[in-house]
Amino acid sequence: MRFALIAGVLFSGCASGLLAENPTPNLTVTLLIQSAEDIAPATLAVMGSEVSQIFEPYGIGVSLFRYRSGASTPVMERAIVVKFCGDCGPASRGVGDLAHSGATLAFTHSVDGQLLPFIEVLCDRVKAVLMERRFGEAQPPMFWMGRALARVVAHEMYHVLANTKRHTEHGLMRSNLSARELTGGSLTIDRQAGEKLTSTLFSRDKSVGATVTAGF
Ligand SMILES: [Zn+2]
């Protein structure tokens, strides 16, 4: 990973209310956003806020760093590259013919079974899943896209940070996430998966492991 070559504009994904409650996370993860030219700034802002809310209970802060050549590089405690592929515009421009149960929405690169901090998000497929749900007028299309992308990214972030491909029956780490789960009021990491996350990141005993299975 050539993190030293990445430059861009840093903006925090943390909502101000969350910062007041937990001003000092135990770990700050910087998401290095690549190939996201057609993602509206409002969509990225929603995505950053949503991802931060998911990981804040575990003492993990999240910042987004959008690639732009020529800008200075921030100090990064831990970095994960997130590459967006396809049409990442507002959800109302989705393509319905790609929608089917079990479609891969994103994936994490691995080598010899080891997960790498490199996530790719397939925007066309995320939008196709969103086509399954009719949205009200209360929020603009970029809001729903931002929330859905946040949950897809957070799902893959969990795989990287917890160093496991394992899925759960409930919550964010289900192997298949529906349009309702991607856009509903709240989607969290279930208790057991949360314990795995914190033990992997913060426990001195790194022997706690999990059986590796397939996943999105
Ligand atoms: Zn998965």
Task: Parse the chain into domains and list their residue ranges.
Answer: 3-202
Q: Quick one: average pLDDT of 195-201? A: 95
How far is it, in rounded angstroms, from Cα 179 to Cα 148? 8
What pLDDT score does 5 carry?
30
How many A from CA of 215 to the centre of ligand 1?
4
Taking the CB of residue 96, how many other CB atoms lie within 10 A of it?
A: 11
How far is it, in rounded angstroms, from Cα 34 to Cα 199? 30
92 Rama sector, left if φ>0, alpha if ψ -120 to 50, beta otherwise: alpha
Residues 28-76: tens digit of each pLDDT: 999 999 877 788 889 999 999 999 999 999 999 999 998 776 777 778 8
How many A from CA of 34 to the centre of ligand 1?
20
Q: Residue 168 pLDDT > 60, yes or no?
A: yes
Alpha helices in 122-209 (DSSP H): 123-130, 141-162, 179-183, 191-202
- The CATH class of 3-202 is alpha beta
How many A from CA of 155 to the centre of ligand 1?
6
Q: Residue 94 pLDDT > 60, yes or no?
A: no
How many A from CA of 159 to the centre of ligand 1?
7
Would you place residue 202 in the very low, low, confident or very high pLDDT band (cuts 50, 70, 90)?
A: very high
Q: Residue 15 pLDDT > 60, yes or no?
A: no
How many A from CA of 185 to the centre of ligand 1?
21
How many A from CA of 54 to the centre of ligand 1?
16
What pLDDT score does 96 carry?
45
- What is the model's pTM? 0.80
How many A from CA of 167 to the centre of ligand 1?
6
How far is it, in rounded angstroms, from Cα 29 to Cα 148? 20
